[in-house]
Structure 1
């Protein structure tokens, strides 16, 4: 499901117009992004939580040349499904 299909599905289930639904989805994405950028965490009870994890620097191997490379440290977004979502998917 892409963003347009997601907006159409939410619009159909909520009874909101597609324009209002698009604004709501974009506001949700922007809010979560800003919170994660500032180092926070977003927890939606029953759905799941978004957080930022630190990945440390490590050694790796370029599979094409087999040469060792240094992989720098970075931040990564993590999503952990909530209990209700996990049970629904089972």
Structure 2
């Protein structure tokens, strides 16, 4: 699975169009869960909107196994490749 995951991580960087913000946040949460595991940092301050959004996306994946997060990430990238092209 890690080979597919690593490939997906690289493929998302070369899409013809940048995914929507909500798609990017979802990718971020899955990526962090797959590479780090459950969130291990303090929640950012309420006025750091980007950091707070990223933290929330990661925290929403709490308890998801690294393998499941990798699999979901790969599937999402496949959908994004169909939607935005490479």
TM exceeding 0.5: no
TM-score (ref. length: structure 2): 0.25
TM-score scaled by structure 1? 0.24
- With CA pairs under 8 Å and 6+ residues apart, which has the higher RCO, 1 or 2? 2
- Higher helix fraction: Structure 1 or Structure 2? 2
Whichever structure has more strand as a proportion of its residues is: 1
